[in-house]
Amino acid sequence: MSAVRHLSAQDAASAWQHLLWGDAAALPAWQRRLRLPLRMAYAIGRDLAQGRLTLAAMSLVYATLLSLVPLLAVSFSVLQGFGVHNQLEPMLLQALHPLGAGAQEVAGRIIDYVDNTNVRVLGAVGLAVLLWSVLSLISKIEQVFNMTWRVQHQRPLAERFSRYLSVLLVGPVLLFSALAASASLRRNVVVQTLTDIQPLGWLLQVAEGVVPFVLITLAFTFAYNFVPNTRVRLKPSLLGAVVAGVLWLLAGSLFAQFMAGSTRYAAIYSGLAILILFMIWLYIAWLIVLVGANIAFYLQYPEYLVSRERDLRLSNRLRERLALLLMQAVVRRHYAGADAADAEALAHELGMPLTHVHTLLGMLRAGGYLVPTASEPPRYVPAQAPELLQVQQLLRHVRRYGEDPQATPAPPAGTPVAAVEARLQQAMDEALADMSLRALAVDSAASTDAAAPSQPAT
């Protein structure tokens, strides 16, 4: 009996692996439609299991605890000028609602700290430290988002400073103004009159319940589009924000139930219980934000879902193949008179992760095979006439890229290793002869089309 169960478990695992990573052509249509969401769920679970998301969430909790009071102090100072600073405590209570009865205590403590932070008496040094604490939090969030989107470089310092200030000055005003408008609308006489008329009253109650979800989704969408140092499309960021918003509401409801039965934690930790639970909620909240960001990333770049691993490793053969495919795509566009493609378009066309495409584009630029245009984002065109660029020279450049002759000297002449290398290079030169990139991209494609058998008319 145990052997039968073992075989059935093996069959189930084999079927699961085939569904995720097998030949898509052999699957039914309904299974092919399930493949993307299943692979995405696998990728999110893998990133959680490997600790990438959990460690990032922990670091953001630490940064938030250090910068929360300065952030609210700066926001409070800005909101005072617009007359909506009274909405700060209700907004905190809404954000801390999962803490249950402890939300009032935490919000009250934070508001007391904010009130005691008098910006006028801080002086130049104190104000600089206050702003640095706030900007460091936003910078940390940008670094984590850049890691999610596989971005290697942060924005220039001047651009970061202007963006961070816009978040500090404009973001709180828009958010609290929307909450104040929503609250004043509920108190409006006309709205209260409509509430007594059914089914308008029921619809208004439903809309009031949907408003928090809409605000959370819009805030997440704004963060996913504005924070990473890359171009994020609206549809992936919106879908990721919707999933994160649903998780946020579900986690908040579950955490509130947990808080209702957490009296034993108060007995164990005494006065520190509410602080520990507040840190746990911060951790859950950041984890949800990062899960939504990863969903948005995988929706925009499904090429990263083709492998079981988070980052596809490029072997020497794959590096050479990708270089040839990139040059082939660029040269074909060149001779077809089509618009040049940027890195993202080339990644989608080849079905390869964007990070690897960027790496190979850097190699090809360094070898003088491609040049970027002045557009933003840059597009790539041949650096010379493709008929003057030899395939064997391109492969030789890719194979030797990054070598340091000082650190790895060539084997002495006449040794067996030197003889093998010479024979390999001679075989490649003879096989490719004088084949140009034009022949690779255009002439070979034309000969392949001419040799293909014609299909009968249907």
Q: Record the tokens describing residue 267, joined without a space.
A: 């007995």
Mean pLDDT of 204-220: 75
pLDDT tier for residue 372 given thresholds of 50, 70 and 90: very high
- Give span(s): CATH 1.10.10.10, the chain: 316-449
Domain 316-449: give its CATH code. Answer: 1.10.10.10
Q: Record the tokens describing residue 365, joined without a space.
A: 């630029």
Peptide bond before residue 228 is cis, with ω within 30 degrees of 0: no
What is the chain's Cα-based Rg? Answer: 29
pLDDT tens digits, 287-296: 999 999 999 9
pLDDT value for 379: 93
Q: Which of 111-115, 228-232, 385-389, 453-457 has the lowest mean pLDDT?
A: 453-457
Q: Which of 104-118, 155-169, 195-209 has the lowest mean pLDDT?
A: 195-209
pLDDT tens digits, 135-164: 788 888 889 999 999 887 777 777 777 777
With a pLDDT cut of 90, the percent of the chain lying above it is 17
Q: Are strands 341-342 and 370-372 parallel, antiparallel or unpaired?
A: unpaired
pLDDT tier for residue 453 given thresholds of 50, 70 and 90: very low
Identify the CA nearest to 169 among candidates 204, 137, 134. 134
Mean pLDDT of 233-246: 93
